[in-house]
Structure 1
Amino acid sequence: MTERQRIQQLPNELINQIAAGEVIERPASVVKEIVENALDAGATRIEIDIEDGGSKLIRVRDNGCGIYQDDLPLAFATHATSKISNFDDLEHVRTLGFRGEALPSIGSVAKTTLTSRSKDSEHAWQISPHLSLETTPAAHPPGTTIEIRDLFYNTPARKKFLKSERTERFHIEQLIQRLALGSPQATFILRQHGKTIGEYGGDTPEARVASVMGDELLEQAVPIDASSQEMRLWGWVGLPTYNHSQTDKQHFFINGRMIRDKVIVHAIRQAYQDVLYNRRHPIFVLHLDLDPALVDVNAHPAKHEVRFREARLTHDFIFSTLNHALRAHRPKQMQAVAPPPSMQPTAAPSSAQRAQTPLRFQTSMAGGQHRPSPSRSNARETERYYQWTHAPETPSQPITAPNEPQPTEHPLGYALAQVHGLFILAQNAQGLVLVDMHAAHERILYERFKAQLSSEQSSSQRLLMPQRFNLNGADHDILLAHQDWLKRLGFYFTLEANHININALPAILKHVAAADLLALILEELREYPSTTALKRMEDEILSSMACHRAIRANHSLSINEMNQLLRDIEQTPSSGQCNHGRPTWTQLSIDELDKLFMRGQ
């Protein structure tokens, strides 16, 4: 039997090293703690210098309010801070740093020197806690510089876990970019071995985003600005077609603090689930502003995760805001625009102009009759063929034929032909439109099924013969717990000790095999709560139905049928992608066509 050990108080140095294991994972963790302190000090310019990926040197200089001479030793004392003084402050944290462990922990595993001058002091003062806690005079402008050398010099086991210089530098660079996105007042300059590798910031939110992510996000994103009760969500979410293979382009901030929380991640993923291609990730920069009392930012040592007082309310607010914005967004091509000059009536073109006049489709019918405009029904149309012709040269006549519909009447224009039984070729004011028939029709049906299911929640289709399925004990308990919810959806069944008798299904799902439907319901309810399972189940079932009923390859369509499909696309939410996330149509502008054939060069 081992000898009983006595309880003893750990020395401060060991306590700080234990805390460092929680707070300091790598050089980027050190940079995060120091830069957040600079932001809390009101800095508007922060310069970060690193060497060897931060393991040899990290130097952070800011122009913030500085630290008084008498407070410098306290900056390296355990649980000493200027940011909270009572429990109410802890309940309403408005700063980025608050735990009071960062500087003591850093000073315990690295050679640290802090030089600071408050704005109302004549001189700066310096302290190096690894040498002593005495302060000495120093030359320094108003603000603070923290220099950290030889990270983990006294804990070599920790140093062995560091990655290559390139990897550690990447983590620091990514961290500074994220901090810049969440800091409206500061400019950040990052240098490696004295060479500037990044400068981030700006006077406006758009400028900050552009400095970090370029102009592409702003061009390929939907702006968000919504408020509900005590919450406001604003920023930008990338279009479903603008996505990434990893999650490193996802930035979320709560009251200016960058976080990655599972509630937030689930809400955003759910908003994109039927418009984003499989295994791709959305790109976004989002800010959630709310009362600090509604969120606990002290839930994680590194402050990456938070705890919401009303997690479900927050989740639903984020999901509904993004879902509405993505479904309501209409691409520029789908918005009404004035026709370009080349589409308007002109005088007779010169010979040089005629040489540059684009060819166009002209449709003829059997018997020499022109096709009717899409506004006139012609269900008996049986034969179509197309001839290439030049635009007419009659003076004062429009370039397009007089009996041909103007392409500006509808955003996607009018159908010209069916290509390989897969695509519809159409012409609009901007150029050519190419439509994937199956993908487009799939989205149209999918949205119709969703609307029908939503409006007919109490409508059921009774089965001619009840279908019986055996259940294990766990599945029986799941269905029993959600019995009322399933009845509101349109399911009617009776539960016995070890089986279920299904008597009726929702009317919209009457063509789905009852066995497959029951298996899907149980699978979803095992993993998710009923509200989330309902959404997932609807999406998966209706998606499968839409896919099987949509137009298949090599299905011949008349011109009128093709035009009707174009009109349906224009009226359908999220019609830019099918419910699997594939694009449904694309636009080739006149300028792009000119470049293909080197016109005007």
Structure 2
Amino acid sequence: MNAPLLPLPREIRQLDAGQVNRIAAGEVVERPASAVKELVENALDAGATRVEVEYEDGGKALIRVSDDGCGMDAADLPLALSRHATSKLPGGDLFDIRSFGFRGEALPSLGAVGRLEIASRREGGEGASILCDGGRIEGPRPAGTPPGTVVTIRGLFRATPARLKFLRSPRAEAQAIADAIRRLALSAPGVAFVLTDRATGREAFRAPPEDLSARAARVVGAGFREDAATVEAEREGLRLTGLTGLPTFTRGTAARQFLFVNGRPVVDRLLSGALRAAYGDAMPRGRHPACALFLSCEPRLVDCNVHPAKSEVRFREPGVARGLLVGAVRHALAQAGHRSDRALSAGILGRAAAPAPGAPVYEMDRAGRDRAQGFAFAEGPAARMEESPGRMPPSEEATAGRLGAAKAQLHGNWIVAQTERGVVLVDQHAAHERLVYERLKRQRREGGVRRQALLIPEVVELAEAEAVLAHAEALAALGLVVEPFGPGALAVREVPAELGGADPGAILRDVADEIAEGMPPAALEARLDALAATIACHGSVRSGRGLSGAEMNALLRAMEAEPASATCNHGRPTWVELPLADVERLFGR
């Protein structure tokens, strides 16, 4: 049984300073990583070029943050431990925030729940220190310390033992500290960072001053710099820059998504949702892109004071922010073109891959692009490509592009192409499926998918007939025209011309399954794309079908003309590249 509630006293009284600070600590400092975040943000606001962080027992026993920033003198230290005292609002305008911290709650809150000591010195001044233990202040007193500030916290939450019970294991807390440091290190690539476990002496993270791409590779993960697209766009006072991973550079969680607003790390649902929308069908379900994206604007266009830990923001024009991110990321991925996932290719060889220097970029002229986009596979059984050992025949060399010239077909599904740099392997079904899908979307947005009327309508019995009829208008926009044909049956009268001789009944049954499973509940555009992806699968060349050399090369040229062809409709890669040097290494040459 629940314990009975005690009657509330009728008298209203003012909380004492200690209680106020402990309440503030509960809002601002949830765990050791929160304390580290607050202290490192203070160091960055102080202009530090080097930040060192040490911890013990996951931060519960010790946290020490040292910086070489502007420092403080003896007169500043008592003020630093006063609530709502800050140097970061010179004009007093809460809508003109140009720093990480501005509330002045972190230091007094930490001093209320642990033993906090600050030692600081300005360049050319005298050093001083101050102690705050459970809210009791001692000092300031003279101290020998280098220019900058050192903040030490011992026994975090010892004044609030109930909070200690909710902390996780030392290893989990240490990992949270490391994650916070990596996020802040990415926000300031020109600052050196060192994170050390004092108990073992092990450095959990170290980064010298470097440019953004190098810092992103260090923080996001190996291969990110090579397999990321550069993002740069501006709209209505908002500017977006940074790097976003190619659709084949994915992770099982969103832990490698780093989003910043005016330099501040944020976890924002609006921006995270926009990022998912930007990748759309270019990424497998359950996978997440990696990114390091920086959104900057005038402070008055964003409210960063909507969360105690300042991890969420609110835009004055959220639609503009979302549209900018979606459009900029999509454009960046399209501009990245046909860069294969080097990490994936390297995994085949069991080693980390390096980008090939001076890799040629294939540019298809307008005539070539038109030929490629209009290609179609010949009907009936196709002859296998004749063997062509040695150099590519002159006719093939003249037309070979980024994906090379086809040399063979393996097991009825894999096209082997030779390039100047090595070998390309293509999944013919996945690649063609993406091409058909993109053409269906393009035709729909340009006025309607071209239809082909059936000489004899195909009657299909479906338990989901009524649900499919509810989407009849959307299906017609995609070139699939259906109408009722008695109870539990539909008649297919027209199909998309792109699908050629595909089975209308099989198409409709798969569409019914897609509708029954629940299509994206968002915008009509997303629902239409989901249906288009299902329909496109039936218009694609199937695994096991033999292709002639001309057909294989036509597919390669069409892939080069389509920026989204690196992945299929389900987000899986359509091709990988093996550099010649790696192939030679396999044979010890």
- The TM-score with structure 1 as length reference comes to 0.78
- Aligned pair count reads 531
- In the TM superposition, residue 451 of structure 1 has moved relative to its aligned partner by 0.5
- Of residues 406, 412, 420 in structure 1, which corresponds to 2:403? 412
Q: 1:491 to 1:244 in 2, by over 3 A?
A: closer
2:578 equivalent in structure 1? 588
2:125 to 121, 125, 129: 121
Letter in 1 for 2:280: Q
Residue 456 of structure 1 aligns with which residue?
A: 447
Partner of 2:283 in structure 1?
Answer: 276
On the 8 A contact 1:76/1:129 being kept in 2, the answer is no
Mapped to 1, the partners of 2:60 and 2:37 lie a distance apart of 14
2:70–2:122 contact (8 Å) kept in structure 1: yes
The reply on whether 1:175 has 2:180 as its aligned counterpart is yes
* 1:548 partner amino acid: H
* Aligned-partner SS, 1:324: helix
Pick aligned residue for 1:188 from 177, 184, 193: 193
- 1:508-564 CA-partner distances (Å, limit 9, x unpaired): 999775996899599668x43xxxx12311220111011122111222222222221
Corresponding position of 2:99 = 95
Contact preservation (8 Å) 1:126, 1:138: no
In structure 2, list runs of 5 or more residues that go unmatched.
1-5, 342-357, 363-374, 483-492
- Identical-pair percentage: 41
* AA partner of residue 309 (structure 1): R
Shift in Å at residue 462 of structure 1? 12
Any idea what SS the aligned residue of 2:75 has?
helix
| 1:477-496 matched pairs, under 5 angstroms | none
Q: Partner of 2:33 in structure 1?
A: 28
| Offset at residue 460 of structure 1 (A) | 9.9
Structure-to-structure mapping, 1:109-508, within 5 angstroms: 109-130=113-134, 131-193=136-198, 194-213=201-220, 216-331=223-338, 337=360, 383-384=383-384, 386=386, 400=391, 405-406=396-397, 409-456=400-447
Q: Distance in 2 between matches of 1:401 and 1:135?
A: 80
- Distance, in Å, in 1 between the alignment partners of 2:52 and 2:289 is 31
Q: Is the 8 A contact 2:245 2:289 kept in 1?
A: yes
Q: For 1:209-261, what per-residue CA distance to the aligned partner results, in whole angstroms no more than 9, with x for missing partners?
A: 24434562111111112222312111111111111122221111111100010
Post-superposition shift, 1:311?
Answer: 0.7
Cα separation, partners in 2 of 1:429 and 1:56, compared to 1, 3 Å: same
SS at match of 1:99: coil
**Mapped contact 1:407–1:413 kept (Cα < 8 A):** no
Equivalent position SS for 1:439:
helix
Q: Deviations over 1:467-507 (max 9, x none)?
A: x9989xxxx9xx9xxx9x999999999xxxxxxxxxx9998
* Matched position secondary structure for 1:21: helix
Letter in 2 for 1:572: E
Name the CA distance, whole Å, in 2 between partners of 1:424 and 1:40.
Answer: 55
Question: Residues 93 and 240 of structure 1: is their aligned pair in 2 closer, same or farther, counting only changes over 3 Å?
Answer: same
Q: Alpha-carbon deviations, 1:309-342, whole Å to 9, x = none?
A: 1111100110011011112322357998399xxx
Say which SS state the counterpart of residue 90 (structure 1) adopts: coil
Is residue 2:112 matched to residue 1:108?
yes
Q: Quote the Cα distance in structure 2 between the aligned partners of 1:459 and 1:221.
A: 36
Q: Aligned in 2, Cα 1:183/1:385: closer, same or farther, shift over 3 Å?
A: closer
What one-letter code is carried by the residue in structure 1 that aligns with 2:238? M
Q: Provide the C-alpha distance between the structure 1 equivalents of 2:67 and 2:518, rounded to a whole number of angstroms.
A: 54
Paired with 1:409 and 1:486, the residues of 2 have a C-alpha distance of: 38
Determine the C-alpha separation between the residues in 2 that align with 1:546 and 1:211. Answer: 39
Q: Is the 1:190–1:196 contact (alpha carbons within 8 Å) kept by the matching residues of 2? A: yes
Q: Which has the larger radius of gyration?
A: 1
Q: Secondary structure at the match of 2:396?
A: coil
Question: Is the CA contact 1:430–1:589 (under 8 Å) kept in the aligned structure 2?
Answer: yes
Q: Does 1:40 align with 2:50?
A: no
Distance 2:532 2:479 in 1: 15
Unaligned runs of 5+ in 1: 340-374, 392-399, 494-503
For the structure 1 residues 505 and 226, does the alpha-carbon distance in structure 2 shift closer, same or farther, using more than 3 Å as the test? farther
Q: Distance in 2 between matches of 1:387 and 1:491?
A: 41
Whether 2:529 is the aligned partner of 1:539: answer yes
For residue 286 of structure 1, give the secondary structure of its aligned residue in structure 2: strand
Aligned partners of 1:402, 1:148: CA distance in 2, in Å?
72
What SS is found at the alignment partner of 1:80?
A: coil
Instruction: Determine if contact 2:77/2:140 at 8 Å carries over to the other structure.
Output: yes
Q: Secondary structure at the match of 2:308?
A: coil
In structure 2, what residue type is equivalent to 1:542? A
Taking only aligned residues, the RMSD between alpha carbons, in angstroms, comes to 4.0
CA contact (8 A) 2:220 2:291 kept: no
Partner Cα distance (2:415, 2:534) in 1: 23
Q: Residue 296 and residue 409 in structure 1: after superposition, are their counterparts in 2 closer, same or farther (change >3 A)?
A: same
CA distance in 1, matches of 2:576, 2:309: 44
8 Å CA contact 1:117–1:142 kept in 2: the answer is yes
